[in-house]
Amino acid sequence: MKPFDLLNAPLQGRNLIEANAGTGKTYAISGLFLRLIVEHALQVGEILVMTYTVAATEELKDRIRCTLSRALEALGHGRVEDLFLDSFVRRLAEDDRTNSARRRLATALRDFDEAAIFTIHGFCQRTLQENAFESHSTFNAELITESEKITDLILQDFWRRHFYEAQPELVAYALETKNNLAGYRSFLRQISSHPDIRIVLEPPAPNHDIVEEEIAAYRREISKLRDSWKECRETVCSLLRDGSLNGKVYGEYQTDRYVDELDVFLERGGPCFPLPKNFEKFTAGKLSRSCRKGCVPPKHHFFEICQVINDLEKRLKVVLDSILLSLKKELLQTIHAELPAFKTRRNILFFDDLLLRLRDALGRPEGDLLAAAIRRKYRAALIDEFQDTDPVQYAILQAAFLCNRPEESDKPPIFLIGDPKQAIYSFRGADIFAYMAAAKQVDAAYTLQENWRSAPALLNAVNSVFHSHPNPFVYEAISFMDSKPAPGGQKEQLILAGPDEWDPAPLQLWVIPDHQKGGKVKPLGKGHATPGILQAVTAEISHLLDAGRKGMALIGNRRIEAGDVAVLVRSNREARLIQQALLEGSIPAVMHSRDNLFDSLEATDMDLLLRAIEVPNDERRLGAAMMTSLLGLSIGALYRLKIDERQWENCLQRFRNYHRQWQEAGFMRMMRSLLRIEDIRSRLLSQPDGERRLTNVLHLAEVLHRESLERNRGMRGLIRWLAEQRDPGKMRSDEHQLRLESDARAVRIVTIHKSKGLEYPVVFCPFVWEGAKDVSKNDALTCHGGDENSFLLCDLGLPHQALHELRAYREGLAERVRLLYVALTRAKHRCYLVWGHFNGAGGSAPAYLFHDRTSKWDENNPEEAIAAAASFRNFYNELTGPEILRDLDRIADSAHGSISIADLPVPTAVTPLPNEHWKGTLSRRNFTRKLEQSWRFTSFSSLVFGTYVPQEGADRDREEEYRPLKSSDWQVLPPGTQTGNLLHEFLEQLDFKERDEMVLQQRASEALSSHGFDSRWKTALLTLIRNVLALSLSGGGNGQSFRLSDICCGDRISELAFYFPLKRLTRDNLRILFQEISREDPGMVPDSWDLEMERLSFSSVRGWLRGFIDLVFVIDGRYYLLDWKSNFLGADPSGYSPEALKSVMVRKHYILQYHLYALALHAYLKQRLPGYRVERHFGGIYYLFLRGIDPSRGEKTGVYFDRPSEARLTALYDGLIEKNPAERRNADVA
């Protein structure tokens, strides 16, 4: 590779630029863009610049715009400090091209909004839209981000089909081996980024009859075991204790444990499979092998039965393993078949579909025309972060720009810019082998080696680390070339002075001494190593910050601060350990991680707290809530509180108040009161990580509030939703990623993946010695296969193929080395690396770089390669402390003083950082305004509080959940809130004129699945819907009747939201208003309505009334409102007769509800419909009680209808709606 010369490199052909870390990759892209504008006279929209994140595109836009602007300014002044721009401007002047360059740059800056700077997804979307016919793309498809939710629906349906009626032994074994929903989600997540992955599965699933026979035989023997255990339990116990057996295995304590375990196993209900952990201890074979020398093992028929069962279990496991593996393959086939069909029906696309559609379009016979169109539009291409490409992206770029087409003389130049040493995103689908393949297709390859980030001595140290191995990045195609300090690069220096002796070497390599056990040297376990590492890191950071505070640790002319320090970790778990250690040392620290809100301790505490509020008289729930970190009681304090009856009763009363406030005013009003009354803010902020905890609590409150409003969740529903989100097996959404607390003057704790592209003055790398994770037989094993690793495969076999295990190990090792490279190159001045003889670290990056003796990976000779890999791991485990230090000293010697090797420091007392908060006198301002306490948003639910269950959002009916007890129950949908939500959503989305039975069947299946119902409810659901659509409705005042199936989608609005300004309203003036209306319009409501009005108990309110009308439709020029009611009023049809429904309408206060809805519709039509008249345009109100509707029983069963008169609606309008000043003036004139 040649060093890249930004000023003189030819702007032609296919080019690769490998940019070492910190060498100014973005600067090079900006310079290339500038040259293409000036030298090739390209427009900004003709240069494709592509990267992989939205944030990166914004940074590129800013940097490129800035470069163009500075170049234009330099053309006016003649000289500039930037070496490249200065040389560029002088060359233009020498060639007499200054004026043309100035015009082109001015045009480029003026038109910069047209710049084609995209993410890969943005580029594909734009290309598909602009070439819809060539790419066979559909129009107006909706792009959705949360693709996992849809995949999860298909997964749940697959699980129900295969496991709900499966043999209990299979289900139990599936749950035991993590072949549950959570395990399948993890499996799908593992391969979801690889659409072309190939599945390797051996052997095939066994015959169904064989499975049945094996299970039947196992059950027979278990039955014998139960009978025998009842008869001879005591005899067996005495035989196990007779002294003839090995005491370490069959001691008194161990034997009692085995017996207890067997008791529990045989007494439990359900399948007795798999066997308990220690069942083998009862088998004749195990007893024989554990017999003392010279003794005879105990004999009993019970032991023989156990032996037979143990052997049967092993056989059955083999059979069930095969079934579960074949189910995994079938799951993938199901996803690949059903997911595209689902997306086609809904006209939706996932973001990755954009890439797949463009790749497929380019791969068709007519794809050359599309590729030519892309090249005509983009006459140059600059591809950033190319090391993170994947096979699909590479195929697109190859077809569009990289293919060698002799017939095209004017091929657009393309530059692929990246660093394969920083390819660390394989979990997102990035494929280093796609990069390697592309590198072989270029016409010229360059490298950027001048580093602008790190101090020269630190660069020398990093170079020495990676030169310590002849093949440092495992694959020979990824070479390592030294980074060199750029002229005028890192100008600031880290200065460490004072009485303490600071080692000047910029790379500090801390080594943990040997672990002695039983006189032998043993690798140190992670659990033993971690506490010492945490203490050493905390002490060193404290030492640095203390020196900075005293002016003895400087970066340039300023003191070092906490914000200058970063700790890089591999996982969120390690990040939490580091943060806890730093906080305990009074060092402010902030985590930059992708932890999810619902995985936090605060989510657990919030769950306990809300459950206590739901049932405020449950003292056990209250006690659990009081011991959360939010309320802060210890067990002793809780005990003292409970024995003080007065204080305990006060506590109960507060929670009753929270319960009532939640019901009356909503979740957020209650939560604000609770935070204030229980002083949660102050309690949390007094803790070391209080800011993080308070941030989480406030974030949770916001998320729960939004969910309660958007999804219409009451108290129980919201608590259930929170519990579902906390399920570890549930797919996590980026929406609920932890928010950052303030990071001002705080140590940054960052995962290595998230740190890429960032830089920090001082970096700690305490846990980069993590080795390869063991792959269990039930895990899917992914690795590359084919010539030059051209495709990815997934090995599901039992066992995995040895060659696949080797390849997976090698690929994992290579990525761990790249992660180490990224970590070390984040540092500007000083870096700390921890190493030692750790258990399980044989496959780690430091072990490979520092101690590898056998770097042979000849996959053409798999047996030799596998043996070599195993030999190295064994060799590392047998290393001694002196041997480890000898290898490290060799590397340090080659670094000439830039690497220091030292034992892990034994920390002294950590110096607490002083509180530097402002210490002035605070004073409060007096609040003199008077707040209007009654002004608020209200709704029908809030008005009837105390008489019916209120909720926030749409007014839906809530009933106890129900599930069928016998097969006949599948013919009638169960009562309950879940059913109500199902019916409302199905009717909301249904085209009433739909006649295609297949479409109806499919929509019903999807609706049932999305609401968690078994597919066997489909007949009941469709029967109910057909009855409703076929019902003849009349009463609109024109003598005509109609059916809902006559209504087009364009003539209806579902879930119509409304707000209207509300006059001051009390129960008494509402009751008086309805009494006056009843006198003017006799018979409008049953007589019992006035008595029911007395039960209303809402407080005085003024402000806005809001609500959601299930359906508003127009037919024959008349407007109707309709409300779906899913209430279960009994199995007898008489419960839905007109007289019975009148009673329900009164008792549930639906009369008030529909008058409010009618008023809202009346007000809307009055403003928006020219010539509106009630008698002519207002058709009426329908309340359809869905369960009672059956055309065979008559048109009135299940139907409540009312048509308010103009006088009634006018009285409601005048009595409830607060008029604006213009309306009041018009009313006065009239």
Q: Which residues are annotated as a binding site?
A: 19-26
Q: Which two tokens stand for residue 993?
A: 């004129």
DSSP element (H, E) containing 485 = strand 484-485
d(CA 1007, CA 987): 10
DSSP element (H, E) containing 893 = helix 881-894
State the burial class of residue 1079 (Cβ atoms within 10 Å of its Cβ: 0-12, 13-18, 19+).
exposed
**Do the Cβ atoms of 1186 and 1124 come closer than 8 Å?**
yes
Give the closest residue to 354 by CA, choosing from 131, 47, 654, 160. 131
d(CA 907, CA 1163): 75
Alpha helices in 990-1113, H assignment, sequence order: 997-1010, 1018-1030, 1067-1080, 1088-1093
* Helix (H), strand (E) counts: the chain: 45, 34
Backbone phi and psi for residue 559, each to the nearest 5 degrees, phi listed first: -75, 145
Give the closest residue to 355 by CA, choosing from 118, 121, 57, 50. 121
Beta strands in 159-234 (DSSP E): 198-200
Q: Which two tokens stand for residue 743?
A: 């990071």
Strand order across the beta sheet in which 589-592 lies? 589-592, 747-751, 565-569, 760-765, 827-836, 507-512, 899-903
d(CA 773, CA 813): 11
Q: Which two tokens stand for residue 851?
A: 């101690």
Q: Is 562 left (phi over 0), alpha (psi -120 to 50) or beta?
A: alpha
From the centroid of its chain, how far is CA 883?
45
**Do the Cβ atoms of 674 and 662 come closer than 8 Å?**
no
3-class DSSP state for residue 975?
coil
Rg (CA), the chain: 37
SS (H, E, C) 771-801: CCCCCCCCCCEEEEECHHHCEEEEECCCCCC
d(CA 736, CA 267): 43
Measured CA distances, 794 to 195, 563, 779 (Å): 12, 43, 10
**Do the Cβ atoms of 1124 and 1110 come closer than 8 Å?**
yes
**Do the Cβ atoms of 235 and 300 come closer than 8 Å?**
yes
Q: Which residues are annotated binding-site positions for ATP?
A: 19-26
DSSP 309: H
Backbone phi and psi for residue 470, each to the nearest 5 degrees, phi listed first: -65, -20
Q: Which two tokens stand for residue 356?
A: 């797949």
Residue 1089 CB contacts under 8 Å (≥ 6 apart), including other chains: 1074, 1146, 1151
From the centroid of its chain, how far is CA 781?
23
Measured CA distances, 456 to 151, 158, 491, 663 (Å): 50, 58, 10, 65
Residue 942 CB contacts under 8 Å (≥ 6 apart), including other chains: 664, 665, 950, 1098, 1101
d(CA 387, CA 478): 11
Residue 132 CB contacts under 8 Å (≥ 6 apart), including other chains: 139
Q: Which two tokens stand for residue 833?
A: 């690396």
